[in-house]
Chains A and B, each alone.
Chain A
Amino acid sequence: MEHTIPEKHYLNEATGWKSWLMTLDHKRIGILYMIMVMFSFFLGGVFALLIRWELLSPDKILMGPEMYNQAFSLHGIIMIFLFIIPSIPAILGNFVMPLMIGAKDVAFPRLNLASWYIYVIGFCFAVYALFTGGIDTGWTFYTPYSSESTTAVIPILTAAFVLGFSSIFTGLNFIVTIHRLRAPGMTWFQLPLFVWAIYATALIQVLATPVLGITLALLMLERVVGIGIFDPAMGGDPVLFQHFFWFYSHPAVYIMILPGMGIISELIATFSHRRIFGYKFIAFSSLGIAFTGFLVWGHHMFVSGQSDLAAVIFSFLTFFVGIPSGIKILNWIATMYKGSISLDTPMLWALSFLILFSIGGFTGIVLGTLSIDVHLHDTYFVVSHFHYVMVGGTVMAIFGGLHYWWPKIWGRMYNETLARIAVVMIFVGFNITFFVQFIMGTQGMPRRYATYLPQFQGMHGFSSIGALIMGVGFLLIAIYLIYAIFKGKPAGPNPWRALTMEWETPSPPTAGNFEGQPILEHGPYDYDKVIPENALKPYKTI
């Protein structure tokens, strides 16, 4: 069946740059976020490649140790605060979530737009810091170094502080939207699992981010006014900063991964054409993760001088964090079992997620084991662990989600062949880059150094080649996705024959999302009961 682009839709209903910069439409705000966040991803990626370039040899290639400290700090700060934390909620959450629950918009559209402007302000502070001395504290801003470093600490702290507000506003908006704006008939247990994930994420955003805000504010006062509360010479305590920081930043890792897990639930169900297995388990495990995530921050501080008793308790509690994630993995696998799986590009991203995130999660448990972490802390093993969860998990999910909803967002299809080549490149490149880092870590290669012992040269070189493959892969994705916006084949309302509500509107959707008030007729995963209309290919039976 040939599809056409509808005449009027949210992209052309108003034109001119003002109609974008003043828009209150959640779909357009999602796209504004997409532009900024993906640009940040590009910037962070450039720093990543510079780091890997330098590490081709233990000797100086591009930069000395000071420059190197700046490169990994900027890489981390940009990737964490400007890219991964806002990414899925602000782009896809904004675009898709209201459509999924049958709402016309989020509860507070003006606040939504404000959150984008606040993000842009934070972005500007970060760029300003970049050009006025850079930053060399690492993304963790540990005291006492961060109160002494001569780099642009204040601007970068301001950036993170401001970005926190953007995150809080998004979270607040989404909680209210999900509570109050669901279509008639859509009960909590008929919400798509992506919505549950966004909801759990929003709770963490709202509960944890204010603590980061006050922590960064205290650090700024420490530097500017010299209040001395993190300075042992004045009766203060630098470890207190670490407690405050990780009280936010461990929950924040779930801000990063939970929405990704939500996307994976959608992808696995859609491309297995099967009712999702253990719906309630997946939904509640999101809340479980949100809750347990608040109890384990001390596992980042096993060797920072917290009491032994605290370390043992935190280690024990850390093991519990693995359970909800494990529940999800098992349910996804059970969903695929006996499903009729089609391996379209989004599903390939989802499968990559399953493999890579599992490795990342298991090594997290390894690190949570107190006696092991004493040796592995601050080595490449940790670096590899968190890249397996953040890139292997979240980034796979983002790109899976972007490919899945691209035809909904722009109404057009990307080139499937190129897309499959890209996903394979990323998967292979990723493993080349990071798997050897586990091995280097166990052999004692410490993180955050510009140089290394000659014995690591081979593995570092191997790792850098992987990074290059990934870099080319992402470039390829950028090219064919942008091409698809203008020249892609019209996709039709429901190219994947999925059952969630966003596929019942035209692609691209109309400005007001739906004609009148949509009413729920079937659950999000009723593949055993309903055959979706508008199918591109004939619907495969299970």
Chain B
Amino acid sequence: MSQITEHPAHLQHHFTDVHQQAESAKLGMWIFLLTEVLLFGGLFCFYAIYRSWNPDMFHNAHAFLNVWMGATNTVVLIVSSLTMALAIRSMQLGKRKLTMWFLAGTVLLACVFMVIKYFEYSHKIHLGQLPGKWYFFEGIAGTNPHIFFSAYFLMTGLHGFHVLGGIGVITWLFIKTARGSFSPEYYTPIEMTGLYWHLVDLIWIFLFPLFYLIG
């Protein structure tokens, strides 16, 4: 019964054709992103509850975050999303060298993000603006300011882990691209990583105003 079809190397045996395989990967990736949203959802919930209980304390505490660093990081991540999208486009057009440049650019920007984050974190650790029982900073009016920093470190921390994960995966894509594993016919991993990277970007776009721009 089976028709004779082309059987490219990247087609796994249990799929009937490349199209089915790519569509499956895409659906799987979207569901994975959904679980990521729910994972962060718990923390956003946490944030919403404690902010509504301590509106003044949150307002006072947020003034101790560095808006310029946060804003720079926002721009850095948005640009990295663009370079990631361009990497996919270049592979669609079969331009392998260009894809590698864009992937490298994305990794570089992600590293810039992490370096800025490092400076922010170490400054806060130094001052004692820390979660829970580690908090020893004095000078924020309101009860339990450590809760603000619990939320801050948890949410940006989890986000930071996702950036690190992204750096790893995109580096791996860079190596695979250099080895010629991808072509205009098959670039699903790049595309899927792109989706992931956009979500990481998007989460930061929520985190930035929630922490740095409390009005």
Contacts and interface: CB of A to CB of B under 8 A. Distances in A.
Given A104-B13, A175-B27, A234-B146, A210 B39 contact: yes
Contacts of A168: 35
Nearest to A227: B132
Given A211-B41, A227-B131, A236 B147 contact: yes
Interface in A149-205: 168, 172-173, 175-176, 179-181
Nearest to A109: B14
Instruction: Report the interface size class on chain B.
Output: 35 or more
A260 B205 CA distance: 42
Nearest to B39: A210
Interface stretch (A131-139, A213-221, A438-446, A533-541): A213-221
B115 interface: no
A539 B41 CA distance: 54
Interface string A92-113: 0000000000011111110000
Contact of A105 (B14, B46, B146, B147): B14
A512 B133 CA distance: 57
A225 B134 contact: yes
How many residues of A sit at the interface, in one of the four size bands? 35 or more
A180 to B, nearest CB: 4
Interface string B36-51: 1011111101100110
A141 to B, nearest CB: 15
A229 interface: yes
B27 to A, nearest CB: 5
Contacts of B35: 168, 172, 206-207, 209-210
Contacts of B143: 235
A516 interface: yes
A324 interface: no
A226 interface: yes
A488 interface: no
Contact of B132 (A109, A213, A225, A244): A225
A181 B24 contact: yes
Interface string A494-527: 0000000000000000001000110100000000
A270 B147 CA distance: 58
A103 B38 CA distance: 30
B2 interface: yes
Nearest to B40: A214
A228 B144 CA distance: 10
Contacts of B41: 210-211, 214
Contacts of A479: none
Contacts of B45: 244
A240 interface: yes
Contacts of A208: 38
B124 to A, nearest CB: 15
A172 B20 CA distance: 16
Contacts of A108: 24, 28
A517 B27 contact: no
B38 A207 contact: yes
Contacts of B38: 207-208, 210-211
A376 to B, nearest CB: 29
B147 A180 contact: no
Given A228-B146, A244-B42, A176 B31 contact: yes
A516 B40 CA distance: 44
Given A175-B27, A227-B131, 18 more contacts: A105-B14, A107-B28, A172-B28, A172-B35, A176-B24, A181-B20, A210-B36, A214-B40, A218-B154, A225-B131, A227-B132, A234-B132, A234-B147, A235-B146, A244-B45, A512-B13, A517-B2, A517-B16
Q: Which 10 A-B pairs have the closest CB atoms?
A: A235-B144, A214-B42, A227-B132, A226-B133, A105-B14, A210-B38, A104-B14, A210-B39, A228-B132, A180-B24
23 contacts: A105-B14, A108-B24, A109-B14, A179-B27, A181-B20, A207-B38, A210-B38, A210-B41, A210-B42, A211-B42, A214-B39, A225-B134, A226-B134, A227-B132, A227-B133, A227-B150, A228-B132, A228-B146, A235-B146, A240-B46, A244-B45, A512-B13, A516-B1
Interface of B: 1-2, 12-16, 20, 23-24, 27-28, 31-32, 34-36, 38-43, 45-46, 49-50, 54, 131-134, 143-144, 146-147, 150, 154
